[in-house]
Structure 1
Amino acid sequence: MTTHLYLSLIPEALIASMLTPEEFGLYYAIGNAKRSRGQAVFFSVDRDLLPEDAFDLSEVDARCVPHPNGDPKRSLYISIYRVLEKIPRQALSALHLVTDDGRVLTIGPSEHVATEAGSAHLYQEFCPVSPRVVSTLDPAGFTEFITDDSQPIHVPRIVFAELTLGALATDPTTGNAEDLPYPNIGHLRDCLVELGGQDKATKTVLRQMTQEVLFRTVHGGFHVGDPTGITTFALPTLDALEREHFAWWRSAQSTFGQ
């Protein structure tokens, strides 16, 4: 059996497992006894692209072995602290989004495509911090801003997703928000108006993610950024989701979160 390395974002951890991404996603979301439910977001990690001094992997192969009854080793935790910053972007070979009933959508990395200028953006950060913020910066600009080590507040590497703002992106005061599923739309409008009226790059909407991810509101995809650049894991188009990933998409639409 193959030993896989996975970088979990909720919570942050590097985990070895003999399960495939689909099997691991199901296990991580609902557990072995299927008595719990919870989303999962994790990356497949290319072990060959990890720096030699990043993690102690010397005993992984010896410890990640089948159980006496032949069942595969489901999870072996390697690190739970400051994991993302030790893993180069190039080592993140695939992103797996798991609904709370264990449906897995796998996305590969792609070149980042610049978004339209002149509109506001809503970002959900996942790791190593998890606020939700509005920003005047596009994903590449936001990455450069938040990973700039010359600033007093920065992170070495970040994973975040852009969420849809609809009409609020260009008209936060009177734009139609009826199709947006976020709570407290009034507060979101206030943050956007304040952002537009001040010389600042970001404004915090929520201090931390407290409930499940609204996968259906992800606009474009997930991004991994650091001072060397940005990698995008783009969601399939709506047509592709409905035709090729219907089970996952139906499950993602049933999640309310915030």
Structure 2
Amino acid sequence: MTTNLYLSLIPEALIASMLTPEEFGLYYAIGNAKRSRGQAVFFSVDRARLPEGAFDLSEVDTRCVPHPDGGPKRSLYIAIYRVLERIPRDAITALHLATDDGRVLTLSPTEYEPQTDSWSHLYQEFCPVSPRVVSSLDPAAFTAFITDDAQPVHVPRIVFAELTLGALAQDPVNGRADDLPYPNVGHLRDCLVELADDAGKSTKTVLRQMTQEVLFRTVSGGFHVGDATGLTTFALPSRDALEREHFAWWRSAQSTFGQ
């Protein structure tokens, strides 16, 4: 059996497992006894691309072995603190999104394609911090801003997703928001108005931290991993492709309630 390395974001951890991404997503989302449910967002990590000494992997090959009955070792925790910053972007080879009933969608890294049709963006940060913010910066500029060590508040590397703003993206004052599934849309609208009125402000916090599951159906621009060296994007398939090629995952994602 092959031993895989996974970087979990909810919570942040580096985990060795003999399960495939689909099996691990099912196990991580609903557990072995199937008594709990919860989303899983995790990356596949190429062990060969990890810097020497970044993690203690000396016992992985001796401890991540099949059980006496032949069953695979499901999880061996390697690190739970400041994990993302120790994993180079080029060591992250795939993103896996597991719904709360264990359906897994796997995304490959793609080139970031700038979008110029909106002045505002809604970002959900996942790791190493988890606020939700509105910003006038596109994903590349936001990454450069938040990972700039010349700034008093910064992180070495970040994972975030862009969420849909609907009509509020162009008109935060009068745009309709009844189709947005976020709590306290009035506060979101106020944050966008403040962002538009203050030319010196590029970001505004909407929620201080993510407290419930993310709504995968609200992801519009995909997921991003960024640092001072650049940006890696994991783009979500189009709505049509999700319905045609990933129907089971998409149906499950649509039934998830979060914030």
TM over 0.5: yes
How many angstroms apart in 2 are the aligned matches of 1:58 and 1:45? Answer: 17
Give the C-alpha shift of residue 117 in structure 1.
5.3
How many angstroms apart in 1 are the aligned matches of 2:177 and 2:116? Answer: 20
How many angstroms apart in 2 are the aligned matches of 1:115 and 1:50? Answer: 32
How many angstroms apart in 2 are the aligned matches of 1:152 and 1:118? Answer: 28
CA contact (8 A) 1:121 1:169 kept: yes
Match of 2:35 in 1: 35
Give the C-alpha shift of residue 116 in structure 1.
1.4
Match of 1:16 in 2: 16
Percent of residue pairs bearing the same amino acid type: 82
Match of 1:49 in 2: 49
Give the C-alpha shift of residue 59 in structure 1.
1.1
Aligned residues: 258
Give the C-alpha shift of residue 170 in structure 1.
1.1
Match of 1:235 in 2: 236
Q: Which runs of 5+ in 1 are unaligned?
A: none
Match of 2:111 in 1: 111
How many angstroms apart in 2 are the aligned matches of 1:100 and 1:33? Answer: 14
Match of 1:200 in 2: 201
Runs of 4+ more than 6 Å apart: none
Check 1:37–1:242 CA distance in 2 against 1; reply closer, same or farther (3 A cut): same
Give the C-alpha shift of residue 120 in structure 1.
0.5
How many angstroms apart in 2 are the aligned matches of 1:118 and 1:175? Answer: 14
Match of 2:68 in 1: 68
Q: Secondary structure at the match of 1:111?
A: coil
TM-score (norm 1): 0.99
Match of 2:247 in 1: 246
Higher mean C-alpha deviation, range 112-121 or range 191-200: 112-121
Give the C-alpha shift of residue 232 in structure 1.
0.2
Q: Which runs of 5+ in 2 are unaligned?
A: none
How many angstroms apart in 2 are the aligned matches of 1:138 and 1:218? Answer: 15
1:219 is aligned to 2:241: no
Give the C-alpha shift of residue 53 in structure 1.
1.4
How many angstroms apart in 2 are the aligned matches of 1:197 and 1:160? Answer: 25
Give the C-alpha shift of residue 119 in structure 1.
1.6
How many angstroms apart in 2 are the aligned matches of 1:197 and 1:146? Answer: 22
Q: Secondary structure at the match of 1:93?
A: strand
How many angstroms apart in 2 are the aligned matches of 1:186 and 1:178? Answer: 11
CA offsets, 1:134-161, max 9 Å, x none? 0000000000000000011000000000
CA contact (8 A) 1:117 1:138 kept: no
